[in-house]
Structure 1
Amino acid sequence: MDFSFLFAYIIWNVDSDIFTIPFLNHPVKWYGVSWALGLLIGQQLMYYIYRKEGKFSKDVDTLTLYILLAAFLGARLGHFIFYDPSMFITDPLFILLPPYAGLASHGAAIGTLIALYFFARKTNVKYLWIVDRLVIVSALAGCFIRLGNLMNSEVIGLPTELPWGFIFTSIDNTPRHPAQLYEAIYCFFLFVFLFWYWYQNRSSINNGTLTGWFLIILFTLRFIDEFFKIDQEAFEADLLLNMGQILSIPFVIAGIFILLWSRYKNQPHADMETATLKESPEPESI
């Protein structure tokens, strides 16, 4: 790992392999370790959240399995649905078999949301309650995954003259925006904000509040971050917005809707109760 500087730029020549497993000749990659750390730390955080809220912490084991399968399948299928749908016809086995090159975070989000519906029904919890708690750890997992992208020198940015530009030597000798590092940083701060908000308000927070903020903040920043990235596929060059931005817009709109709904869904009931108390006649004296 070389942290030396070329003029004002950071030279990034990190090997994506950590080591090779003896006898198997199979490399252990930083990207896979990043996914594993995000999952394991997220699982421990969910244990903590469940215990704090008096829920059965054993359900977290089931939740982990649901998320692991749904996030991977969603990310894998999403990559080809959004970026290369022709592969479903020309080479469907490539989608199903290793080395699994190509994962889409928007697809992972959709797959996870679908899986949580079935998990909520199985464990008899409200859907938005579990989504609210999961977005906390999802933000942290997003940080780890983007750090994995950085170690792989992928999801790179456009050329830049800024002093923190990275020269990804495995790509070229051009200083570029470390777009994956930008995303890792704002995902980490989003995690801190969501965890703090939940910790301070967990006994009174309306279901959907954390989900709404998560979707609005994450995908607004993702929309902005896409301006600093190179296109993932050639067809995006002809689009006004790239695919990452197009896919972010519905998530932001959904976040606004969920946040407004979570804030006002109980208001009519409160107003009705107040009105009932005011209109109810006082009992006659006997």
Structure 2
Amino acid sequence: MNANLSYILWNPDDTALRIGSFAMHWYSLCWLIGLVLAYLIVRRLYKEQKIKDELFDPLFLYCFIGILVGARLGHCLFYQPDVYLSSWQHFVEMILPIEFNGNGDWHFTGYRGLASHGGTFGLMLALWLYVKKTKLNIWRVLDNIAIATPTTAFFIRIGNLMNSEIIGKPTDVPWAFIFEQVDMLPRHPGQLYEALAYAVLMFIGWTIYRRRPQRVGTGYFFGLCLTYIFTARFLIEFTKEIQEPFEAALPINMGQILSLPFIAIGIACMVGGKWMKRLGAEK
């Protein structure tokens, strides 16, 4: 990273570390750090709330699979259905982290293309299945996950920044980034805007929890997380380039369209938290 006039030249190596033939990319590393920190935060919350260890143990697996599957399917079906539903090979690429070559061979790529909206939906479905198995109060589980979620979201967006993806529109603001892997235009660092917004939510959520821990189980933190994250996402999208050509014909882009129902759900949870608490059966 170097400064050029008032702009920031951005062209990092996408490999964070290499051990022999094994390479860990920044995006994968950021995902891993975010998930591990969220795991530790929720584990602490469960202990403070005296929830049994055996009820916590399967939670990480449910969350990991739900987020990964939801984020992958969300990207493929929301943003590129014309590609991934056009042939059996592309359909396989949607499910498995591989890419077929023109001669019929394939190579491992990892999952390139994950949508946060799909990941959120996948997480919610996974937590519903987890609650059915453990019989915990669903609002308590959702609130605890919501307190930890901004940490993972922060690191995912840092991963996007390291990958020079989800770039912003051209701008002349003094903090603009020149993503050399894309072009030599100064652009809004939309990934950094989102990361900073989620860092603020980490502080807000943890502060409220420390002052009013009794709100866990009402749906308040879940509602706050959805409302804040997707309102921030909706607003920051105005600084981003569209991800797919079809979005140019839309009044607002796909990310903003998908954010609206999550904002509505979040507001409903915050406003109706006391009522929703009665729907759960406390363990």
TM-score, normalized by length of structure 1?
Answer: 0.88
C-alpha distance in 1, partners of 2:264/2:73? 23
C-alpha distance in 2, partners of 1:206/1:66? 20
Q: Which residue of 2 aligns with 1:282?
A: none
The structural deviation recorded for 1:266 is 7.8
C-alpha distance in 1, partners of 2:115/2:277? 36
SS in 1 for 2:18: strand
Q: Which residue of 1 aligns with 2:239?
A: 228
Bigger drift between 170-179 and 194-203 goes to: 194-203
Q: Which runs of 5+ in 2 are unaligned?
A: 98-108, 279-283
1:1-286 correspondence to structure 2 within 5 Å: 2=1, 4-22=2-20, 25-86=21-82, 87-90=84-87, 91-98=90-97, 99=109, 100-205=111-216, 207-263=218-274
Shift in CA distance, 256/234, structure 1 to aligned 2, threshold 3 Å: same
SS in 2 for 1:203: helix
Q: Does the 8 Å CA contact 2:139/2:217 hold for their aligned counterparts? A: no
Q: Which amino acid aligns with 1:190?
A: L
Residues 81-107 of structure 1, C-alpha deviations (whole Å, 9 max, x = no match): 111113124220111222221100000
Shift in CA distance, 11/102, structure 1 to aligned 2, threshold 3 Å: same
Rg comparison, structure with higher value: 1
Bigger drift between 10-19 and 86-95 goes to: 86-95
Residues 171-198 of structure 1, C-alpha deviations (whole Å, 9 max, x = no match): 1111110000000011111111111112
Bigger drift between 194-203 and 258-267 goes to: 258-267
Residues 200-253 of structure 1, C-alpha deviations (whole Å, 9 max, x = no match): 211355511111111111111100010011111010011000000000000111
The structural deviation recorded for 1:146 is 0.3
Cα-Cα RMSD: 1.6
C-alpha distance in 2, partners of 1:28/1:146? 17
Q: Does the 8 Å CA contact 2:144/2:216 hold for their aligned counterparts? A: no
Q: Which residue of 1 aligns with 2:102?
A: none
C-alpha distance in 2, partners of 1:123/1:260? 27
C-alpha distance in 2, partners of 1:204/1:107? 27
* Percent of matched pairs sharing the same residue: 37
C-alpha distance in 2, partners of 1:115/1:133? 14
Q: Which runs of 5+ in 1 are unaligned?
A: 268-286
C-alpha distance in 2, partners of 1:231/1:266? 39
C-alpha distance in 2, partners of 1:27/1:53? 39
C-alpha distance in 2, partners of 1:28/1:71? 20
SS in 2 for 1:235: helix
C-alpha distance in 1, partners of 2:24/2:149? 23
Q: Which residue of 2 aligns with 1:284?
A: none
Q: Which amino acid aligns with 2:85?
A: F
Bigger drift between 191-200 and 165-174 goes to: 191-200
The structural deviation recorded for 1:27 is 2.3
Q: Does the 8 Å CA contact 1:16/1:30 hold for their aligned counterparts? A: yes
C-alpha distance in 2, partners of 1:92/1:71? 19
Q: Which has the higher contact order (CA 8 A, sep 6+)?
A: 2
C-alpha distance in 1, partners of 2:17/2:51? 40
Shift in CA distance, 43/206, structure 1 to aligned 2, threshold 3 Å: closer
Q: Which amino acid aligns with 1:182?
A: Y
Shift in CA distance, 224/6, structure 1 to aligned 2, threshold 3 Å: same
Q: Does the 8 Å CA contact 1:43/1:60 hold for their aligned counterparts? A: no
The structural deviation recorded for 1:263 is 4.4
Bigger drift between 108-117 and 85-94 goes to: 85-94
C-alpha distance in 2, partners of 1:57/1:48? 11
